[in-house]
Structure 1
Protein backbone atom coordinates (compact mmCIF):
# COMPACT_ATOMS: atom_id res chain seq x y z
CA UNK A 1 0.00 0.00 0.00
CA UNK A 2 1.47 3.43 -0.93
CA UNK A 3 2.29 5.77 1.92
CA UNK A 4 0.51 9.15 2.02
CA UNK A 5 3.17 11.81 2.19
CA UNK A 6 1.57 15.19 1.41
CA UNK A 7 -1.30 17.22 2.82
CA UNK A 8 -2.86 17.30 -0.65
CA UNK A 9 -3.05 13.50 -0.59
CA UNK A 10 -4.65 13.55 2.87
CA UNK A 11 -7.12 16.34 2.17
CA UNK A 12 -9.10 16.19 -1.06
CA UNK A 13 -10.24 19.65 -2.09
CA UNK A 14 -13.67 20.78 -3.20
CA UNK A 15 -14.41 23.93 -5.15
CA UNK A 16 -17.48 25.93 -4.16
CA UNK A 17 -18.76 29.22 -5.53
CA UNK A 18 -20.33 31.86 -3.31
CA UNK A 19 -23.34 33.95 -4.30
CA UNK A 20 -21.05 36.81 -5.43
CA UNK A 21 -19.01 34.46 -7.62
CA UNK A 22 -16.01 34.02 -5.32
CA UNK A 23 -14.57 30.57 -5.90
CA UNK A 24 -13.49 28.81 -2.73
CA UNK A 25 -11.25 25.80 -2.42
CA UNK A 26 -12.38 23.92 0.68
CA UNK A 27 -10.77 20.99 2.44
CA UNK A 28 -10.50 19.35 5.84
CA UNK A 29 -8.09 20.95 8.29
CA UNK A 30 -5.08 19.07 9.65
CA UNK A 31 -2.40 19.72 12.26
CA UNK A 32 -0.21 21.29 9.56
CA UNK A 33 -2.82 24.07 9.27
CA UNK A 34 -2.26 25.47 12.76
CA UNK A 35 -0.15 28.38 11.51
CA UNK A 36 -2.50 29.42 8.70
CA UNK A 37 -5.47 29.20 11.08
CA UNK A 38 -3.66 31.38 13.63
CA UNK A 39 -3.02 33.96 10.88
CA UNK A 40 -6.63 33.64 9.70
CA UNK A 41 -8.08 34.33 13.14
CA UNK A 42 -5.80 37.36 13.42
CA UNK A 43 -7.68 38.71 10.36
CA UNK A 44 -11.11 38.02 11.87
CA UNK A 45 -12.46 41.06 13.70
CA UNK A 46 -12.21 41.00 17.50
CA UNK A 47 -16.02 41.00 17.70
CA UNK A 48 -16.29 38.05 15.29
CA UNK A 49 -13.62 36.14 17.26
CA UNK A 50 -15.67 36.78 20.41
CA UNK A 51 -18.81 35.54 18.66
CA UNK A 52 -17.00 32.41 17.39
CA UNK A 53 -15.46 31.43 20.72
CA UNK A 54 -18.11 33.06 22.98
CA UNK A 55 -15.38 34.84 24.92
CA UNK A 56 -13.05 37.76 24.32
CA UNK A 57 -9.89 36.35 22.80
CA UNK A 58 -6.93 37.95 21.06
CA UNK A 59 -4.40 35.93 19.11
CA UNK A 60 -5.26 32.24 19.22
CA UNK A 61 -2.61 30.06 20.78
CA UNK A 62 -1.94 26.35 20.35
CA UNK A 63 -4.53 25.38 23.00
CA UNK A 64 -7.32 27.15 21.09
CA UNK A 65 -6.14 25.97 17.67
CA UNK A 66 -5.60 22.31 18.51
CA UNK A 67 -9.35 21.44 18.56
CA UNK A 68 -9.57 22.89 15.03
CA UNK A 69 -6.62 20.95 13.66
CA UNK A 70 -6.60 17.63 15.53
CA UNK A 71 -9.94 16.03 14.71
CA UNK A 72 -11.07 12.51 13.91
CA UNK A 73 -12.65 13.58 10.57
CA UNK A 74 -15.90 11.77 11.30
CA UNK A 75 -17.41 12.76 14.63
CA UNK A 76 -15.60 16.07 14.40
CA UNK A 77 -14.65 17.80 11.18
CA UNK A 78 -12.91 21.11 10.68
CA UNK A 79 -12.83 22.79 7.28
CA UNK A 80 -10.68 25.54 5.87
CA UNK A 81 -11.74 27.57 2.84
CA UNK A 82 -9.28 29.39 0.62
CA UNK A 83 -9.95 32.01 -2.04
CA UNK A 84 -9.13 30.01 -5.17
CA UNK A 85 -7.64 33.09 -6.83
CA UNK A 86 -5.35 34.30 -4.06
CA UNK A 87 -4.82 31.07 -2.12
CA UNK A 88 -5.51 32.92 1.15
CA UNK A 89 -7.61 31.32 3.87
CA UNK A 90 -10.94 33.15 4.15
CA UNK A 91 -13.10 30.90 6.34
CA UNK A 92 -13.06 28.19 8.96
CA UNK A 93 -16.01 25.91 9.69
CA UNK A 94 -16.49 23.12 12.19
CA UNK A 95 -18.97 20.30 12.77
CA UNK A 96 -18.74 18.54 16.15
CA UNK A 97 -21.13 15.62 16.67
CA UNK A 98 -22.38 14.02 19.87
CA UNK A 99 -21.25 10.43 20.62
CA UNK A 100 -24.51 8.96 19.29
CA UNK A 101 -24.16 10.86 15.99
CA UNK A 102 -27.59 12.46 16.32
CA UNK A 103 -26.72 16.11 16.86
CA UNK A 104 -23.89 18.19 15.51
CA UNK A 105 -22.85 21.62 16.69
CA UNK A 106 -21.58 23.94 13.99
CA UNK A 107 -19.46 27.07 13.99
CA UNK A 108 -18.31 29.29 11.13
CA UNK A 109 -15.83 32.15 11.00
CA UNK A 110 -15.29 34.35 7.96
CA UNK A 111 -12.39 36.74 7.47
CA UNK A 112 -13.57 40.32 7.95
CA UNK A 113 -12.87 41.45 4.38
CA UNK A 114 -14.88 38.50 2.99
CA UNK A 115 -18.04 39.11 5.01
CA UNK A 116 -21.15 39.89 2.97
CA UNK A 117 -19.90 37.92 -0.05
CA UNK A 118 -21.77 34.66 0.58
CA UNK A 119 -18.88 32.82 2.21
CA UNK A 120 -20.89 32.17 5.38
CA UNK A 121 -23.83 30.87 3.31
CA UNK A 122 -21.52 28.55 1.40
CA UNK A 123 -19.88 27.19 4.54
CA UNK A 124 -23.28 26.60 6.18
CA UNK A 125 -24.35 24.67 3.08
CA UNK A 126 -21.20 22.56 3.34
CA UNK A 127 -21.77 21.85 7.05
CA UNK A 128 -25.42 20.90 6.45
CA UNK A 129 -24.42 18.54 3.64
CA UNK A 130 -21.76 16.94 5.83
CA UNK A 131 -24.19 16.57 8.74
CA UNK A 132 -26.73 14.94 6.43
CA UNK A 133 -24.04 12.65 4.96
CA UNK A 134 -23.17 11.51 8.47
CA UNK A 135 -26.84 10.75 9.18
CA UNK A 136 -27.39 13.38 11.87
CA UNK A 137 -30.92 14.27 12.92
CA UNK A 138 -30.11 17.92 13.53
CA UNK A 139 -27.44 20.57 13.76
CA UNK A 140 -27.30 23.35 16.30
CA UNK A 141 -25.43 26.60 16.61
CA UNK A 142 -25.04 28.57 19.81
CA UNK A 143 -24.85 32.29 19.13
CA UNK A 144 -24.43 35.42 21.20
CA UNK A 145 -27.74 37.32 20.99
CA UNK A 146 -25.76 40.31 19.67
CA UNK A 147 -24.56 38.31 16.65
CA UNK A 148 -27.48 39.47 14.53
CA UNK A 149 -25.80 38.70 11.21
CA UNK A 150 -25.19 35.02 12.06
CA UNK A 151 -28.64 34.58 13.57
CA UNK A 152 -30.32 36.07 10.51
CA UNK A 153 -28.15 34.00 8.14
CA UNK A 154 -28.96 30.79 9.98
CA UNK A 155 -32.68 31.61 10.00
CA UNK A 156 -32.51 32.16 6.24
CA UNK A 157 -30.92 28.71 6.00
CA UNK A 158 -33.83 27.07 7.85
CA UNK A 159 -32.65 27.22 11.45
CA UNK A 160 -35.16 27.88 14.23
CA UNK A 161 -34.12 30.04 17.18
CA UNK A 162 -34.70 29.01 20.79
CA UNK A 163 -33.71 30.60 24.06
CA UNK A 164 -30.93 28.86 25.91
CA UNK A 165 -31.92 27.93 29.45
CA UNK A 166 -29.81 29.61 32.07
CA UNK A 167 -28.11 32.16 29.79
CA UNK A 168 -30.02 35.21 28.55
CA UNK A 169 -27.06 36.25 26.36
CA UNK A 170 -27.09 33.16 24.14
CA UNK A 171 -29.52 31.74 21.61
CA UNK A 172 -29.61 28.19 20.25
CA UNK A 173 -30.38 27.82 16.56
CA UNK A 174 -31.48 24.40 15.36
CA UNK A 175 -31.98 22.82 11.94
CA UNK A 176 -33.58 19.38 11.71
CA UNK A 177 -33.10 16.98 8.81
CA UNK A 178 -35.85 14.82 7.36
Structure 2
Protein backbone atom coordinates (compact mmCIF):
# COMPACT_ATOMS: atom_id res chain seq x y z
CA UNK A 1 0.00 0.00 0.00
CA UNK A 2 2.79 2.43 0.89
CA UNK A 3 4.52 1.83 -2.45
CA UNK A 4 1.37 2.46 -4.48
CA UNK A 5 0.51 5.50 -2.36
CA UNK A 6 3.89 7.06 -3.10
CA UNK A 7 3.31 6.61 -6.85
CA UNK A 8 -0.19 8.12 -6.70
CA UNK A 9 1.05 11.10 -4.67
CA UNK A 10 3.79 11.80 -7.21
CA UNK A 11 1.29 11.72 -10.08
CA UNK A 12 -1.13 13.98 -8.18
CA UNK A 13 1.66 16.44 -7.35
CA UNK A 14 2.30 16.83 -11.09
CA UNK A 15 -1.39 17.56 -11.66
CA UNK A 16 -1.93 14.38 -13.66
CA UNK A 17 -4.78 11.88 -13.64
CA UNK A 18 -3.20 9.20 -15.85
CA UNK A 19 -0.25 7.12 -14.68
CA UNK A 20 2.44 6.24 -17.17
CA UNK A 21 2.80 2.56 -17.99
CA UNK A 22 5.86 2.09 -15.71
CA UNK A 23 4.01 3.83 -12.86
CA UNK A 24 0.91 1.70 -13.38
CA UNK A 25 2.95 -1.50 -13.53
CA UNK A 26 4.84 -0.59 -10.37
CA UNK A 27 1.52 0.02 -8.58
CA UNK A 28 -0.02 -3.32 -9.54
CA UNK A 29 3.25 -5.14 -8.83
CA UNK A 30 3.08 -3.75 -5.29
CA UNK A 31 -0.20 -5.68 -4.97
CA UNK A 32 1.29 -8.98 -6.09
CA UNK A 33 0.49 -8.89 -9.81
CA UNK A 34 3.63 -9.98 -11.72
CA UNK A 35 4.98 -7.71 -14.48
CA UNK A 36 7.97 -8.14 -16.83
CA UNK A 37 11.15 -6.27 -16.07
CA UNK A 38 10.89 -2.80 -17.58
CA UNK A 39 13.61 -0.17 -18.12
CA UNK A 40 12.74 3.49 -18.73
CA UNK A 41 14.88 5.14 -21.41
CA UNK A 42 15.03 8.88 -21.99
CA UNK A 43 16.62 8.75 -25.44
CA UNK A 44 17.24 6.50 -28.44
CA UNK A 45 20.76 5.79 -27.17
CA UNK A 46 19.38 4.70 -23.79
CA UNK A 47 16.87 2.46 -25.57
CA UNK A 48 19.75 0.62 -27.27
CA UNK A 49 21.61 0.31 -23.96
CA UNK A 50 18.52 -1.00 -22.14
CA UNK A 51 17.79 -3.49 -24.92
CA UNK A 52 21.33 -4.80 -24.79
CA UNK A 53 21.01 -5.35 -21.06
CA UNK A 54 17.69 -7.17 -21.33
CA UNK A 55 18.78 -9.28 -24.29
CA UNK A 56 21.43 -10.91 -22.11
CA UNK A 57 18.63 -12.94 -20.49
CA UNK A 58 15.82 -12.66 -23.08
CA UNK A 59 15.53 -13.60 -26.74
CA UNK A 60 13.68 -10.42 -27.68
CA UNK A 61 12.47 -7.10 -26.27
CA UNK A 62 9.56 -4.72 -26.71
CA UNK A 63 9.93 -0.95 -27.12
CA UNK A 64 6.99 1.29 -26.20
CA UNK A 65 6.24 4.98 -26.18
CA UNK A 66 6.41 6.60 -22.74
CA UNK A 67 3.91 9.45 -22.51
CA UNK A 68 2.06 11.22 -19.73
CA UNK A 69 -0.62 12.14 -22.27
CA UNK A 70 -1.10 9.08 -24.50
CA UNK A 71 -2.65 6.17 -22.60
CA UNK A 72 -3.44 3.88 -25.56
CA UNK A 73 -0.01 3.59 -27.16
CA UNK A 74 -1.02 1.19 -29.94
CA UNK A 75 -3.43 3.83 -31.32
CA UNK A 76 -0.46 6.05 -32.27
CA UNK A 77 1.90 3.27 -33.35
CA UNK A 78 3.72 3.45 -30.06
CA UNK A 79 4.52 -0.27 -29.61
CA UNK A 80 7.09 -2.40 -31.44
CA UNK A 81 7.34 -6.12 -30.59
CA UNK A 82 9.83 -8.94 -31.01
CA UNK A 83 13.06 -6.94 -31.31
CA UNK A 84 16.17 -9.13 -31.35
CA UNK A 85 19.08 -6.62 -31.24
CA UNK A 86 19.99 -3.34 -29.59
CA UNK A 87 20.31 -1.70 -33.01
CA UNK A 88 16.79 -2.79 -33.98
CA UNK A 89 15.53 -1.41 -30.64
CA UNK A 90 17.05 1.99 -31.46
CA UNK A 91 15.40 1.88 -34.89
CA UNK A 92 12.07 1.02 -33.25
CA UNK A 93 12.34 4.03 -30.94
CA UNK A 94 13.02 6.34 -33.90
CA UNK A 95 10.08 4.89 -35.84
CA UNK A 96 7.78 5.39 -32.85
CA UNK A 97 8.83 9.04 -32.66
CA UNK A 98 8.21 9.48 -36.39
CA UNK A 99 4.71 7.98 -36.20
CA UNK A 100 3.86 10.07 -33.15
CA UNK A 101 4.84 13.30 -34.93
CA UNK A 102 2.75 12.31 -37.95
CA UNK A 103 -0.38 11.30 -36.04
CA UNK A 104 -0.25 13.59 -32.99
CA UNK A 105 2.13 16.47 -33.73
CA UNK A 106 1.04 18.30 -30.57
CA UNK A 107 2.21 15.42 -28.33
CA UNK A 108 5.84 15.09 -27.29
CA UNK A 109 7.29 11.75 -26.18
CA UNK A 110 8.50 11.62 -22.58
CA UNK A 111 10.81 8.74 -23.45
CA UNK A 112 10.49 5.03 -24.04
CA UNK A 113 10.10 1.83 -22.08
CA UNK A 114 12.02 -1.30 -22.94
CA UNK A 115 10.90 -4.65 -21.55
CA UNK A 116 11.66 -8.29 -22.10
CA UNK A 117 9.44 -9.90 -24.70
CA UNK A 118 7.23 -12.44 -22.93
CA UNK A 119 6.53 -15.35 -25.25
CA UNK A 120 4.15 -17.93 -23.82
CA UNK A 121 2.87 -20.06 -26.67
CA UNK A 122 -0.12 -21.55 -24.88
CA UNK A 123 -1.04 -18.58 -22.67
CA UNK A 124 -4.53 -17.09 -22.69
CA UNK A 125 -4.91 -13.31 -22.91
CA UNK A 126 -7.08 -11.98 -20.08
CA UNK A 127 -8.27 -8.57 -18.98
CA UNK A 128 -8.62 -7.34 -15.40
CA UNK A 129 -10.27 -3.98 -14.97
CA UNK A 130 -11.99 -1.57 -12.64
CA UNK A 131 -14.31 1.36 -13.17
CA UNK A 132 -16.88 3.37 -11.24
CA UNK A 133 -20.54 2.52 -11.63
CA UNK A 134 -22.96 5.33 -10.68
CA UNK A 135 -25.07 2.95 -8.60
CA UNK A 136 -22.66 0.29 -7.29
CA UNK A 137 -19.44 2.29 -7.01
CA UNK A 138 -16.20 0.44 -7.89
CA UNK A 139 -16.77 -2.72 -9.95
CA UNK A 140 -14.23 -5.30 -11.14
CA UNK A 141 -14.16 -6.70 -14.67
CA UNK A 142 -12.63 -10.03 -15.64
CA UNK A 143 -12.62 -11.82 -18.98
CA UNK A 144 -10.98 -12.49 -22.32
CA UNK A 145 -8.41 -9.79 -23.13
CA UNK A 146 -6.29 -8.67 -26.04
CA UNK A 147 -6.87 -6.04 -28.69
CA UNK A 148 -10.30 -7.46 -29.60
CA UNK A 149 -11.69 -7.36 -26.07
CA UNK A 150 -14.73 -5.24 -27.04
CA UNK A 151 -15.56 -7.48 -30.01
CA UNK A 152 -15.18 -10.79 -28.16
CA UNK A 153 -17.20 -9.35 -25.24
CA UNK A 154 -16.54 -12.24 -22.87
CA UNK A 155 -16.41 -10.61 -19.46
CA UNK A 156 -17.90 -10.88 -15.99
CA UNK A 157 -18.49 -8.18 -13.39
CA UNK A 158 -17.85 -8.57 -9.65
CA UNK A 159 -18.20 -6.27 -6.68
CA UNK A 160 -15.14 -5.79 -4.48
CA UNK A 161 -13.96 -6.85 -2.02
CA UNK A 162 -13.20 -10.32 -3.39
CA UNK A 163 -11.78 -13.43 -1.83
CA UNK A 164 -10.78 -16.76 -3.40
CA UNK A 165 -14.38 -17.98 -3.72
CA UNK A 166 -15.76 -14.78 -5.23
CA UNK A 167 -12.78 -14.39 -7.57
CA UNK A 168 -13.31 -17.99 -8.70
CA UNK A 169 -16.99 -17.24 -9.35
CA UNK A 170 -15.98 -14.37 -11.67
CA UNK A 171 -13.65 -16.68 -13.61
CA UNK A 172 -16.32 -19.37 -13.93
CA UNK A 173 -18.87 -16.85 -15.23
CA UNK A 174 -16.90 -16.39 -18.48
CA UNK A 175 -16.45 -18.58 -21.54
CA UNK A 176 -12.68 -18.21 -21.33
CA UNK A 177 -12.90 -19.62 -17.83
CA UNK A 178 -13.58 -23.02 -19.41
CA UNK A 179 -10.52 -22.66 -21.65
CA UNK A 180 -8.40 -21.81 -18.62
CA UNK A 181 -9.32 -25.21 -17.18
CA UNK A 182 -7.34 -26.87 -19.98
CA UNK A 183 -8.32 -28.73 -23.15
CA UNK A 184 -6.70 -31.17 -25.57
CA UNK A 185 -2.93 -30.63 -25.31
CA UNK A 186 -3.21 -27.44 -23.28
CA UNK A 187 -2.48 -27.67 -19.59
CA UNK A 188 -4.80 -25.86 -17.19
CA UNK A 189 -3.77 -22.30 -16.43
CA UNK A 190 -2.61 -21.58 -12.90
CA UNK A 191 -6.01 -20.75 -11.39
CA UNK A 192 -4.48 -19.76 -8.07
CA UNK A 193 -2.32 -17.12 -9.77
CA UNK A 194 -5.34 -15.64 -11.59
CA UNK A 195 -7.32 -15.54 -8.34
CA UNK A 196 -4.37 -13.88 -6.57
CA UNK A 197 -4.28 -11.19 -9.29
CA UNK A 198 -8.01 -10.54 -8.88
CA UNK A 199 -7.62 -10.36 -5.12
CA UNK A 200 -4.69 -7.96 -5.48
CA UNK A 201 -6.76 -5.67 -7.69
CA UNK A 202 -9.64 -5.91 -5.23
CA UNK A 203 -7.42 -4.92 -2.30
CA UNK A 204 -6.04 -1.93 -4.21
CA UNK A 205 -9.62 -0.75 -4.77
CA UNK A 206 -10.37 -1.14 -1.06
CA UNK A 207 -7.22 0.79 -0.12
CA UNK A 208 -7.53 3.71 -2.56
CA UNK A 209 -10.70 5.79 -2.97
CA UNK A 210 -8.75 7.82 -5.56
CA UNK A 211 -8.93 5.06 -8.20
CA UNK A 212 -11.14 6.07 -11.12
CA UNK A 213 -10.35 3.33 -13.66
CA UNK A 214 -7.81 0.56 -14.17
CA UNK A 215 -7.08 -1.84 -17.03
CA UNK A 216 -4.61 -4.70 -17.07
CA UNK A 217 -4.67 -5.95 -20.66
CA UNK A 218 -3.35 -8.37 -21.58
CA UNK A 219 -2.73 -10.45 -18.49
CA UNK A 220 -1.13 -13.61 -19.85
CA UNK A 221 -2.15 -16.78 -18.01
CA UNK A 222 -0.83 -20.31 -18.42
CA UNK A 223 0.36 -23.20 -16.28
CA UNK A 224 3.38 -21.16 -15.15
CA UNK A 225 1.28 -18.34 -13.71
CA UNK A 226 0.32 -14.84 -14.84
CA UNK A 227 2.14 -11.74 -16.05
CA UNK A 228 0.71 -8.30 -16.86
CA UNK A 229 2.09 -7.00 -20.16
CA UNK A 230 0.35 -3.65 -19.98
CA UNK A 231 -1.48 -1.58 -17.38
CA UNK A 232 -3.42 1.67 -17.38
CA UNK A 233 -4.54 3.54 -14.24
CA UNK A 234 -6.49 6.77 -13.82
CA UNK A 235 -6.80 8.47 -10.43
CA UNK A 236 -8.57 11.48 -8.93
CA UNK A 237 -5.63 13.60 -7.71
CA UNK A 238 -7.78 15.26 -5.06
CA UNK A 239 -8.40 11.97 -3.26
CA UNK A 240 -4.97 10.34 -3.07
CA UNK A 241 -4.70 10.88 0.70
CA UNK A 242 -8.22 9.77 1.63
CA UNK A 243 -8.14 6.94 4.16
CA UNK A 244 -9.17 3.35 3.55
CA UNK A 245 -11.48 1.56 3.29
CA UNK A 246 -12.95 3.06 0.14
CA UNK A 247 -16.31 4.59 1.17
CA UNK A 248 -17.74 4.09 -2.34
CA UNK A 249 -17.74 0.29 -2.04
CA UNK A 250 -21.19 -1.25 -2.37
CA UNK A 251 -20.09 -4.05 -0.03
CA UNK A 252 -18.30 -3.36 3.22
CA UNK A 253 -14.77 -4.81 3.31
CA UNK A 254 -13.85 -7.77 5.47
CA UNK A 255 -13.56 -6.61 9.13
CA UNK A 256 -10.07 -8.02 9.65
CA UNK A 257 -9.51 -6.24 12.97
CA UNK A 258 -11.82 -8.69 14.76
CA UNK A 259 -9.53 -11.73 14.80
CA UNK A 260 -8.00 -13.20 17.96
CA UNK A 261 -6.79 -16.43 19.54
CA UNK A 262 -8.62 -17.98 22.47
CA UNK A 263 -7.47 -20.41 25.17
CA UNK A 264 -10.33 -22.37 26.66
CA UNK A 265 -10.02 -25.44 28.92
CA UNK A 266 -6.60 -26.27 27.52
CA UNK A 267 -7.80 -25.95 23.92
CA UNK A 268 -6.78 -23.18 21.51
CA UNK A 269 -9.17 -21.62 19.03
CA UNK A 270 -8.87 -18.83 16.48
CA UNK A 271 -11.89 -16.54 16.30
CA UNK A 272 -12.39 -14.35 13.22
CA UNK A 273 -15.18 -13.00 11.00
CA UNK A 274 -16.59 -15.53 8.57
CA UNK A 275 -15.40 -15.67 4.94
CA UNK A 276 -17.21 -17.06 1.86
CA UNK A 277 -14.55 -19.78 1.64
CA UNK A 278 -15.75 -21.10 5.01
CA UNK A 279 -18.67 -22.73 3.22
CA UNK A 280 -16.33 -25.72 2.73
CA UNK A 281 -16.09 -26.16 6.52
CA UNK A 282 -19.82 -26.56 7.08
CA UNK A 283 -20.41 -30.22 6.10
CA UNK A 284 -17.88 -31.58 8.62
CA UNK A 285 -19.13 -29.10 11.22
CA UNK A 286 -22.81 -30.00 10.82
CA UNK A 287 -21.95 -33.71 10.92
CA UNK A 288 -20.81 -33.18 14.53
CA UNK A 289 -23.96 -31.34 15.64
CA UNK A 290 -26.57 -33.52 17.32
CA UNK A 291 -30.16 -33.39 15.97
CA UNK A 292 -31.31 -31.90 19.27
CA UNK A 293 -28.71 -29.11 19.15
CA UNK A 294 -29.79 -28.31 15.58
CA UNK A 295 -33.40 -28.13 16.76
CA UNK A 296 -32.47 -25.75 19.59
CA UNK A 297 -30.54 -23.51 17.18
CA UNK A 298 -33.06 -23.40 14.31
CA UNK A 299 -36.17 -23.73 16.53
CA UNK A 300 -37.37 -26.78 14.58
CA UNK A 301 -36.12 -30.10 13.27
CA UNK A 302 -33.72 -29.69 10.35
CA UNK A 303 -31.89 -32.40 8.45
CA UNK A 304 -30.94 -30.78 5.16
CA UNK A 305 -28.79 -27.71 4.53
CA UNK A 306 -28.98 -26.86 0.81
CA UNK A 307 -25.96 -25.34 -0.87
CA UNK A 308 -27.77 -22.03 -1.40
CA UNK A 309 -28.54 -21.79 2.30
CA UNK A 310 -24.90 -22.39 3.25
CA UNK A 311 -23.84 -19.67 0.79
CA UNK A 312 -26.27 -17.24 2.40
CA UNK A 313 -24.74 -18.07 5.77
CA UNK A 314 -21.17 -17.43 4.58
CA UNK A 315 -21.42 -14.69 1.93
CA UNK A 316 -22.42 -11.71 4.05
CA UNK A 317 -22.79 -7.99 3.59
CA UNK A 318 -20.70 -6.92 6.58
CA UNK A 319 -22.60 -3.62 6.71
CA UNK A 320 -25.62 -5.44 8.12
CA UNK A 321 -24.49 -8.94 9.11
CA UNK A 322 -21.56 -10.45 10.93
CA UNK A 323 -20.68 -14.00 11.89
CA UNK A 324 -17.67 -15.03 13.95
CA UNK A 325 -16.25 -18.51 13.45
CA UNK A 326 -14.20 -20.33 16.05
CA UNK A 327 -11.64 -22.62 14.42
CA UNK A 328 -9.57 -25.32 16.08
CA UNK A 329 -6.06 -23.84 16.00
CA UNK A 330 -4.31 -27.11 15.21
CA UNK A 331 -6.70 -28.49 12.57
CA UNK A 332 -8.58 -25.46 11.23
CA UNK A 333 -11.86 -27.31 11.74
CA UNK A 334 -14.97 -25.26 12.48
CA UNK A 335 -15.86 -25.44 16.17
CA UNK A 336 -18.57 -22.83 16.66
CA UNK A 337 -20.33 -19.80 15.17
CA UNK A 338 -21.73 -16.61 16.68
CA UNK A 339 -23.93 -14.55 14.37
CA UNK A 340 -25.55 -11.09 14.42
CA UNK A 341 -28.00 -9.84 11.77
CA UNK A 342 -28.96 -6.17 12.01
CA UNK A 343 -31.74 -4.01 10.61
CA UNK A 344 -30.64 -1.34 8.09
CA UNK A 345 -30.43 1.51 10.62
CA UNK A 346 -28.56 -0.55 13.24
CA UNK A 347 -31.21 0.00 15.90
CA UNK A 348 -31.31 -3.70 16.69
CA UNK A 349 -29.76 -7.00 15.72
CA UNK A 350 -30.72 -10.65 16.16
CA UNK A 351 -28.01 -12.99 17.44
CA UNK A 352 -27.60 -16.76 17.24
CA UNK A 353 -25.00 -19.24 18.50
CA UNK A 354 -24.08 -22.78 17.51
CA UNK A 355 -21.23 -24.77 19.07
CA UNK A 356 -20.25 -28.25 17.99
CA UNK A 357 -21.89 -30.82 20.26
CA UNK A 358 -18.55 -32.46 21.16
CA UNK A 359 -17.07 -29.10 22.25
CA UNK A 360 -19.87 -27.78 24.44
CA UNK A 361 -19.18 -27.11 28.08
CA UNK A 362 -15.73 -25.55 27.54
CA UNK A 363 -16.78 -21.88 27.45
CA UNK A 364 -16.63 -21.46 23.68
CA UNK A 365 -20.26 -20.30 23.42
CA UNK A 366 -19.60 -17.74 26.15
CA UNK A 367 -16.64 -16.28 24.24
CA UNK A 368 -18.54 -16.17 20.96
CA UNK A 369 -21.44 -14.31 22.58
CA UNK A 370 -19.01 -11.87 24.19
CA UNK A 371 -17.43 -11.26 20.76
CA UNK A 372 -20.88 -10.56 19.29
CA UNK A 373 -21.69 -8.11 22.11
CA UNK A 374 -18.34 -6.33 21.78
CA UNK A 375 -18.90 -5.98 18.04
CA UNK A 376 -22.41 -4.59 18.59
CA UNK A 377 -21.01 -1.97 20.97
CA UNK A 378 -18.29 -0.97 18.50
CA UNK A 379 -20.86 -0.65 15.71
CA UNK A 380 -23.22 1.39 17.93
CA UNK A 381 -26.05 -1.11 17.53
CA UNK A 382 -28.85 -0.18 19.93
CA UNK A 383 -29.80 -3.61 21.22
CA UNK A 384 -29.39 -7.28 20.42
CA UNK A 385 -32.07 -9.91 20.72
CA UNK A 386 -32.28 -13.67 20.57
CA UNK A 387 -35.29 -15.97 20.18
CA UNK A 388 -34.80 -19.03 22.38
CA UNK A 389 -36.79 -22.19 23.02
CA UNK A 390 -37.95 -22.25 26.67
CA UNK A 391 -36.35 -25.66 27.12
CA UNK A 392 -32.92 -24.29 26.14
CA UNK A 393 -31.96 -23.62 29.74
CA UNK A 394 -28.21 -23.34 29.03
CA UNK A 395 -28.71 -20.47 26.61
CA UNK A 396 -31.22 -18.70 28.84
CA UNK A 397 -28.87 -18.97 31.83
CA UNK A 398 -25.93 -17.61 29.82
CA UNK A 399 -28.04 -14.67 28.63
CA UNK A 400 -28.98 -13.80 32.21
CA UNK A 401 -25.29 -13.86 33.18
CA UNK A 402 -24.56 -11.36 30.41
CA UNK A 403 -27.33 -9.05 31.61
CA UNK A 404 -30.02 -9.86 29.05
CA UNK A 405 -33.64 -9.40 30.06
CA UNK A 406 -35.83 -12.43 29.36
CA UNK A 407 -39.49 -12.18 28.34
CA UNK A 408 -42.05 -14.61 26.97
CA UNK A 409 -42.53 -14.41 23.21
CA UNK A 410 -45.72 -12.40 22.52
CA UNK A 411 -47.21 -14.94 20.09
CA UNK A 412 -45.34 -18.22 20.60
CA UNK A 413 -45.82 -19.76 24.05
CA UNK A 414 -42.86 -22.13 23.68
CA UNK A 415 -40.38 -19.31 23.03
CA UNK A 416 -38.62 -16.60 24.99
CA UNK A 417 -36.96 -13.39 23.79
CA UNK A 418 -33.64 -12.35 25.32
CA UNK A 419 -32.83 -8.63 24.93
CA UNK A 420 -29.70 -6.66 25.79
CA UNK A 421 -29.54 -2.87 25.50
CA UNK A 422 -26.05 -2.24 24.12
CA UNK A 423 -25.76 1.56 23.99
- Structure-1 residue corresponding to 2:379: 134
Consecutive unaligned residues of structure 2, counting only runs of 5 or more, are: 1-27, 33-161, 166-202, 204-253
Deviates more, 1:56-65 or 1:118-127: 56-65
**1:93 equivalenced with 2:338 (yes/no):** yes
Larger radius of gyration between Structure 1 and Structure 2: 2
Asked if structure 1 preserves the Cα contact closer than 8 Å seen for 2:339 and 2:351, the reply is yes
- Structure-2 residue corresponding to 1:116: 361
**1:53 equivalenced with 2:310 (yes/no):** no
Runs of 4+ displaced beyond 6 Å: none
Structure of higher RCO (CA pairs closer than 8 Å, 6+ residues apart): 1
Pick the aligned partner of 1:65 from 290, 307, 310. 310
Matches within 5 A, 1:1-178: 2=31, 12=256, 14-178=259-423
- SS for the counterpart of 1:152 is helix
- 1:5/1:161 CA distance change after superposition, 3 Å: closer
Displacement, 1:68? 1.2
Displacement, 1:130? 0.8
- SS for the counterpart of 2:419 is strand
Displacement, 1:20? 2.4
CA distance in 2, matches of 1:5, 1:37: 18
Q: TM-score, normalised by structure 2?
A: 0.39
CA distance in 1, matches of 2:301, 2:338: 19
Residues matched between the structures, number: 178
Write the deviation string for residues 125-163 of structure 1: whole angstroms up to 9, x where unpaired.
Answer: 100011111101110011111111111111111111011
Note the aligned Cα RMSD (angstroms): 2.3
Displacement, 1:53? 1.2
Asked if structure 2 preserves the Cα contact closer than 8 Å seen for 1:15 and 1:23, the reply is no
Q: TM-score, normalised by structure 1?
A: 0.89
Consecutive unaligned residues of structure 1, counting only runs of 5 or more, are: none
Deviates more, 1:59-68 or 1:147-156: 59-68
Displacement, 1:36? 0.6
CA distance in 1, matches of 2:317, 2:284: 23
Write the deviation string for residues 72-98 of structure 1: whole angstroms up to 9, x where unpaired.
Answer: 012101221102133221001111001
